[in-house]
A and B are shown apart, each in its own frame.
Chain A
Amino acid sequence: MTELKVTFKEFRNDVAPNWCPGCGDFAVLAAMQRAFANLGLTPEQVAVVSGIGCSGRISGYIHTYGFHGTHGRALALAQGLKIANRDLVVVASGGDGDGYAIGMNHTIHAIRRNIDLTYIVMDNQIYGLTKGQTSPRSQMGFQTKSTPKGSIESPLAPLQMALAAGATFVAQGFSSDVNQLVAIIEAGIRHPGFAMINVFSPCVTFNKINTYDWFREHVVPVETIEGYDPHDRNKAMQALMETDGMLTGIIYQDPDSVSYEDRIPGFQKTPLVKQPLKLERAEFEALVAEFM
C-alpha cells in the first residue's frame, strides 16, 4: 500500500475569506497551507492562533485547530498552548498593528523567551479593518485618516528589533512570492525556537503607496547578496540596515538555538496535557511536611 501524501487541500476549509480581492493575506494563507502539507502535518496537529484585525481572521480560514483571541495577545495564547502541549505545531499570526502596536510587549518577550512556535506578521503598514489609520509600520509622511497631514512618527523596524531582542530565527516574505514564503514558513516551523516572520502583505484598499509594485521595486532577496550568511547575526543586522529593512528570505537563523521548553528544569518531552493530574499521596505528604 502506498502512503497517502498530505496535500495543501487538507488544510482548506469551506469558509470564503472576507478579505478584499487582491489582499496580500490570501498568499499568506496559501503559503501556510502548503508549508503544513510539505512538512507532512495533519490538520489536528496544528493550531493557528491569531489576533484581531483583517489578518486575525486567518485562523478561521484554515482547516486546523484555531483560536482567534484578543487584540495583540495571540502570542500570549500561543505560548500558553505550546507549554500545555509541546507536540502541537503552533503558529501565531496577526497584523502589524496587532504585533507591533498593541501587542509589541508580547512580541519582544516572546522573542526573548524562544518558545518553539512560529509567528507570522502580515505587515501592510496600515490599519485595514478599522478602515485606514496609521500603523507603527507606516512610513514617515504617510497620509491616513488618523494622519491627514502625514505620519510624523518613525516607522518601526521589526526585524532589527527582533535581532536586538535575541531572535533565533528572523525571516521576511512578500505575498507575491509564495514559493519563497512557503520555504520560509517551513523553515520557521522546523526551527527549534521562536521563528519571527514578517510578511509584506499589501492592503489594496487603504494603502495606495506600499503596493505590490512598490514592494517589487524595493525588496532585496537575500539571494541577490553575494555570499550572504544567514548564521551571522551582525551581518544580518547590517544587511537589514543597508536595505532599510527590505531584505527578504531567511535573514538570520541561530544554528544552536535551544527552545525555551528544552531549557525548563524538569520539563518533560511528554506534553503536560498527557501527564496525570493527581499527585501520589506520598508526594503530597512530602510537600505538606515542609510546613510542619
Chain B
Amino acid sequence: MVDQLSWKVGGQQGEGIEKPGDLFATALNRLGYYLYGYRHFSSRIKGGHTNNKIRVSIRPVRALSDDLDILVAFDQETIDLNARELRKGGVVIADAKWNPRLPEGVGDVRLISVPFTSIAQELGSTLMKNMVAVGATVGLMDLPVEPFQEVVTELWGRKGATVVEKNMQAIARGAEFVRRELGGPLDEFRLAPADGKRRLFMIGNEALALGAIAAGARFMAAYPITPASEIMEYLIKVLPQFGGTVIQTEDEIAAVTMAIGANYGGARAFTASAGPGLSLMTEAIGLAGMTETPVVIVDTQRGGPSTGLPTKQEQSDINAMIYSTHGEIPKIVIAPSTVEECFYDMAEAFNLAEEYQVPVIVLTDLALSLGKQTVEPLDYDRVEIRRGKYLGDTELPERERLDLFKRYELTADGVSPRPIPGQKYGIHHVTGVEHNEVGRPSEGAANRKQMMDKRLRKLQGFRLKNPINVHAPHEAPDVLFVGINSSEGVIREAIERLEAEGVKANHIQIRQVHPFPADDVRPYVERAEQVIVVEQNATAQLAHLLILHVGYREKIHNILKYDGNPFLPREIFEQAKGLLKTKELI
C-alpha cells in the first residue's frame, strides 16, 4: 500500500480528455483523498497535446510530485512526451487500437494496452473510451467501482438511466481487463484507505468568485481571458439567483471602468483578468486611486510579456501590479497562496477597498487559479463585511443647497466620508483632475500637496491581519525560503527533503505584497543565515522587493523559473542544495 500516487491523463486537446480526469479526481476526493491537479494545455481549441496531472494522497498535498506513477494515454504523442516522467515501475495505460509503444530509452516502465475503443464500441459508442480508461485505472489501483456510480450519475443522469448504466459498464470492463492482465493487485498502486470525509474540490478561480459573492459583490464586469474566465463564468451562472449580474464588456478598459462606476454608485463590484487585461486597466486604476473610489481587481498571472504564454504558469506581474499607472496613488496588492486563501482574501479585498477607498488587486497565478485541488471547509463566519466610511445607508444632515458635501475632507487618517449618488444632502463632484475637498478641480499648490498627502496617508502603516504565511520552526535557520502565490506547497516539500539532510529551513509566503510588510518580514530575514527567494519570473521581482524594503542584499539568493511550468519539489530541493553548498552550509 502507498500513501500517495501521481496520475496523468493526456491526449489531443478538444477530444474531451478533461472528463476522465475530472471524474477520476472527483470520485477519489469523495473517498476522502486529498488531490492537487495541474492542467497542461495550449491556447487553441482543437489539437495539440494536453494533459491533466493529478496527485492523490491520504494527506493534504499542495504541489505536484516530481514523477508519475500512472500515465493514461489517448495517443502516442502523450506517451512520447510524458513517459520519461514515470518512475521506475510506473505504468502506461493506452488504447490498444493504435498499437502504443514506449519510446526508446524509457526503461523499467510497464505498458498495458487496453482496448479502450473496442470495449466502448461494444457498449455502443466510442465516446465511452474515456470511461474504459478510467476503469483501467480503477483496476490498476484496485479501487472499488461503486464510488464512481454517484459521479457518473451526476454527469449523465440527465441523459437517462441507460447512459449511466453504459458508462458504469465501461468503467467495470476497463477495470476487469486490467485486473485480468495483472493477474493480481499490485501493492505499489494500491492507496492506503482515506478518511472518507467529504471535502471541497475546486479551483482557485471558483474560490475567488465565491469570496466575491460572500463579500456582497453583485456586479462583475469582465472580458474573457485565460486564466481568469472561470471567475466570470461561475458568476454568470450563480449571480442571477442573488439579483446580481455580469456584463461581458467590449474590453478590459470598459470592464474595470464599469466596476469603478458601480462602486461609485455604492455597489460592491469588481473585475478579473490576466496580464494583458491589466495592462489596459492601468489608466482606470489611476482614476480609482485619484477619485478614491473602491474597486477590486483580480490578476491571474500567466506567462508574459505581451500575449506571452497565455496558458502557462508565471509570476511576472508583481512589479506591474505594484507600480503600474502614472503618477502616485495608494493601492493594495494581496496574493493568496492557497485556494482557501483565494476565498478569504477575495472577500477581505472588498472590505479593504471600501475602508481605504483604494483599488485593491488580488494577485494569483495560473497554477492557483486553475489547479483543481482538495479544499478544507470554507468558514462563512470568517467573512466580515466592513464598509469603512461608506454613508450610503445613512441619512445625511441637511445642508444649504450649494454647500457641497466634503467627499474629500482632509481627515487624520486620510479617509473621507463617502455618500453615494441618489442621497439627499450628499451632492459633491468627483474628478480625476486634482480637486479640493468637495471634489472640484483645483490646481493650487497648497491644495495639491494636502490632497496628495491625504491620499497617501491612507495606507501608512497598513497591515493585513496575516501579511505573511509563516512556517518557521527554527530560531536561527540555515536558510529562509520566501515565496508567493501557488509555490507554498512545493517549497514546503523541498524543505522537508532538505530537513531530512540536516538543513534547518524556515519559510514565509508573502501574502501582502503592497504596501510591503517590511516589519513582518524583517525578523525572519535577520535570523536566517541565507535567504532563498523562489519565484516564477526571470528578473527576481520578489527578491528585489525584499532587498528594497528589508535589505540584506548579500544573503538573498534566487531560484527562478520562467519556462511556463510550475516548480516541482525536486527542482527547488536540488537548486537550494547547490546554493547552500556554495555557502558551505552543507
Residues on A lying within 8 angstroms of B by beta carbon are: 10, 13-15, 42-45, 47, 49, 57, 59-60, 63-70, 73, 76-85, 87-88, 105-106, 108-109, 113, 264-268, 270-273, 275-279, 281, 283-285, 287-288, 291-292
Contacts and interface: CB of A to CB of B under 8 A. Distances in A.
Contact of B420 (A10, A85, A292): A85
Contacts of A108: 250
Contact of B206 (A67, A273, A291): A291
Contact of B422 (A45, A79, A106): A45
Given A13-B402, A80-B257, A273-B420, 4 more contacts: A44-B424, A76-B254, A78-B261, A84-B265
B141 interface: no
Interface in B150-199: 198-199
6 contacts: A43-B427, A49-B261, A67-B261, A272-B265, A283-B242, A288-B377
A81 B265 contact: yes
B201 A79 contact: no
Given A77-B264, A288-B378, A88 B422 contact: yes
Q: Which residue among A77, A271, A278, A279 has the maximum number of chain B CB atoms within 10 Å of its CB?
A: A77
Contacts of A44: 421-427
A69 B242 CA distance: 30
Contacts of B240: 264-267
A88 B247 CA distance: 19
Interface string B421-450: 111111111111100000111000000000
A292 B243 CA distance: 25
Interface residues of B, number: 71
Interface stretch (B215-223, B533-541, B548-556): B215-223
A204 to B, nearest CB: 22
Contacts of A279: 213-214, 242
B269 interface: yes
Interface of B: 30, 198-202, 206, 210, 213-216, 218-219, 221, 238-245, 247, 249-251, 253-254, 257-269, 283-284, 287, 291, 375, 377-378, 380, 385, 392, 401-402, 420-433, 439-441
B261 A77 contact: yes
A266 B241 contact: yes
B213 A287 contact: yes
Nearest to B202: A291
A67 B430 contact: yes
A202 B332 CA distance: 44
Contacts of B441: 57, 60, 68
Contacts of B392: 273
Contacts of B245: 83, 264-267
Contacts of A266: 239-245
A80 B219 contact: yes
A84 B210 contact: no
A64 B198 CA distance: 54
Please name the 9 residue pairs, one residue from A and one from B, whose CB atoms are nearest each other, closest first.
Answer: A277-B216, A80-B261, A84-B265, A266-B240, A80-B258, A76-B257, A84-B267, A77-B261, A68-B431
B215 A277 contact: yes
Contact of A67 (B210, B218, B264): B264
A10 B377 CA distance: 55
A279 B432 CA distance: 34
Contact of A273 (B239, B265, B439): B265
A277 to B, nearest CB: 3
A264 B253 CA distance: 22
A105 B249 CA distance: 10
